[in-house]
Amino acid sequence: MAKREIIAMGAPVSIAAAEGESDKGPRTFSSTFYTGGAMNINGWDLPVVVDLAGLKAGNVLVANLDHDSTKRVGNFEVVNDGKLLVANGKATAATAARDEVVNSAANGYQWQASLEVNPGKVETLAKGKMAVVNGQEITGPAYITRTGTLKGFGFVSHGADDNTTATIAASAASSKKVKVMEPKCKEWIEAMGFDVDTISDEQREGLVANFKGQQKKPGKISGDANPFEARKIEAKRKQDIRECADRVIELRNSDLDEIEAIEKMVEHAIEAKMDTRDFRLELTDAIAIPRGQTVMAKTRDRGLTNEVIEAAICQAGKMPGYEDLFNDQVLQAAHTRFKGRIGLNQIFMLAAESNGYRGDYASKVTVEVQNAAFGMAGRNIAASGMSTIAIPTILSNTANKFLMVGWNAIDMTPLRIAKIRSVNDFKQITTVSLTGDLQFEKVGAGGEIKHGTLGEQSYNNQADTYAKMLAITRKDIINDDLGALTSVPQRLGRGAALKLNDIFWTAFLDNASTSWFDSTNNNVNTGVADMTIGGLAATETIFMNQTDYDGKPLGSQPAILLVPTALKSSARTLMASELVIDGTATGLQGNKNPFAGRFRVESSPYMSNSAYTGYSAAAWYMLADPEDLPFIEIAALYGRVEPVVETADAAFNVLGVEMRGYSDVGVAKQEKKAGVRADGGSS
């Protein structure tokens, strides 16, 4: 994807004289410069949608000419209601660019506004996939900028949408001049949903001016109307209606059917220019909420499942790649129901209600609600049928997803250089060396096949349990801290990965107590052993010259270069370079790198950490493929190296949820002949 830092979108812009000022005073400008849909933008290979929920405004919003920061026109404020952006500002810059914009508009020139956004996180919506953004259904392929910063906009001749035109209105009239309201003006204002007898003087001025401006032909500043206030009032009306609907949905824990019905009412109220008060009354009547009373939760959330809540938690917790963990239907249901704002209290309340809880619906979870959520019967439990929401399942599944986020954030070199051995219990296991007498022999005339013998060398390993317990505390629940549900298991996952690395590198690097690398084992290089072509050649020679316990060539090939952090760049360069430069060579020499692409480079900061016996910033290792001849092995119960998180309700009379993370692993060296240690010297 080739993209620019600035996203440009065309939209109409209106320019007017400042309220109460002469034609020579600062002009105001106004534009609904983004309506939330997909736009074709230069520099982007797919249509782009700016998610307004993740868009923040810069500290100073600047309008310029043709996106040139040196051609300043003025500053503006923005109204973001989650569905569109409305700009309202003044052309106050003392520049020739400001004069060009204002004077051209006065002469009838139609400007367009072109949005400027610095995108942050950008997601790709695959072809045929659908997502709801800014209240609209977007079908891929497209890019969605989930986060970004609004920097301003530019006055341009042609924006990304050539179908838009500018409506140039006149300046707003002073309230002192509005003595008697014309009947047509009054009718127009009332049709927009405003009561002319109750609106403020400031609103009255703006609406009257806007009405007069619409009676003029576009393209001329006449000094009588300004759409600034009308646009601001209209954006506020839409925002209030939206917030009113969202509050009702959240308080009632509305199911999908009810959400759909409420959304249709919102659309109707906006189109019909209904004010917030009338919308609230209509909504109250439609869903039969007793006015002036606490909204009671529904007895069953149809269509709400464990998986939908889990997806909502992952959305709210901003889990990386959560879209790949759920199907489109579940993701859409989670977004429609919770809009990325699910809370810890809400999760407990939904589970309690699903189990038949009929208590008082306070805004905070109590011990009684928690017990109901976990299916513990109490005086207010009146369960009927099977519960569709199981909080132990939700917490465990979600916790394990966030656990893996923490696990994957830590260096996982051990998993790439060790053999993973599945064990069924915690008993000590013994592995016989793979270097025994297994060479095939010719079958005699009688068809007798001789028995082979396994090597005399054997190695032990054993899985142990490593664990840690954390909790979602009473404080977390009272504070409605969803982060406790996402960050606690993430920390447990991180802790498990750190422990695996600790026991792995303790075993791998410790040569003092095991004498694993020793001249008698023919698996050390103390001569030309630096990270050069000469060092690689000498170390490979030692590896290839190793023999089995019968004195015959081992036959295994080295596959991995394991290096400390300080040698990582050198090792990768040697593996990537096709040619070499030998400044010390004499006579005819080849310039091809014989080791290009020969080995897989692995590296870990643990190798040079002084906390571990045997650490070194210079020593490195040449290892066989662990699936062929393992130098070191990780024993894992049932083959699972990754940790597991389990959740449990606290004691019956205690508010809180306990989480324990554990992993069942063990580490031990296996084949001495599966690796060679180079001490890093160049002698």
Residue ranges per structural domain of the chain: 10-170, 188-215+222-287, 306-389, 390-438+453-558+613-683
Whether the upstream peptide bond of residue 630 has omega within 30° of 0, thus cis, is no
CA–CA gap between residue 228 and residue 213 (Å, rounded): 11
The CA angle 648-649-654, to the nearest 5 degrees, is 145
Name the burial class of residue 153, with classes exposed (0-12), middle (13-18) and buried (19+) by CB atoms within 10 angstroms of its CB.
buried
CA–CA gap between residue 502 and residue 263 (Å, rounded): 54
Within 2-130, residue ranges assigned H as helices are: 96-106
Residues 31, 184 contacting (CB under 8 angstroms): no
Work out the average pLDDT over 354-370: 69
SS3 (DSSP) at 345: helix
The yes-or-no verdict on residue 658 having pLDDT over 50 is: yes
User: E strands, 23-67, where?
Assistant: 27-34, 48-50, 55-65
Work out the average pLDDT over 466-489: 81
Q: What pLDDT, on the 0 to 100 scale, is given for residue 175?
A: 30
Give the helix/strand (H/E) hosting 149.
strand 148-156
Q: What pLDDT, on the 0 to 100 scale, is given for residue 587?
A: 44
Work out the average pLDDT over 462-481: 82
Mean pLDDT lowest among 20-24, 89-93, 321-325: 20-24
Distances (CA, A) of 517 to 268, 530, 628, 681: 79, 17, 20, 16
- pTM for the whole structure: 0.52
Question: Residue with structure tokens 């296996």?
Answer: 670
pLDDT above 70: percentage of residues in the chain: 73
The yes-or-no verdict on residue 343 having pLDDT over 90 is: no
Within 409-464, residue ranges assigned H as helices are: 413-417
Residues 44, 155 contacting (CB under 8 angstroms): no
The closest alpha carbon to 4, from 34, 32, 44, 33, belongs to 44
Tally helices (H) and strands (E) across the chain.
Answer: 16, 25
Q: Please give the single-letter amino acid code of residue 564.
A: P
More confident residue, 297 or 397: 397
The yes-or-no verdict on residue 622 having pLDDT over 80 is: yes
39-43, 395-399, 593-597 — which one is most confidently predicted on average? 593-597
Q: What is the pLDDT of residues 426-448, one digit of tens each?
A: 888 887 665 555 567 777 777 77
The CA angle 243-248-252, to the nearest 5 degrees, is 150
Question: Residue with structure tokens 């045929």?
Answer: 128
Name the burial class of residue 217, with classes exposed (0-12), middle (13-18) and buried (19+) by CB atoms within 10 angstroms of its CB.
exposed
Question: What is the average pLDDT score of the chain?
Answer: 77
Q: What is the pLDDT of residues 243-291, one digit of tens each?
A: 888 877 776 666 666 777 788 888 888 888 888 877 877 777 676 544 3
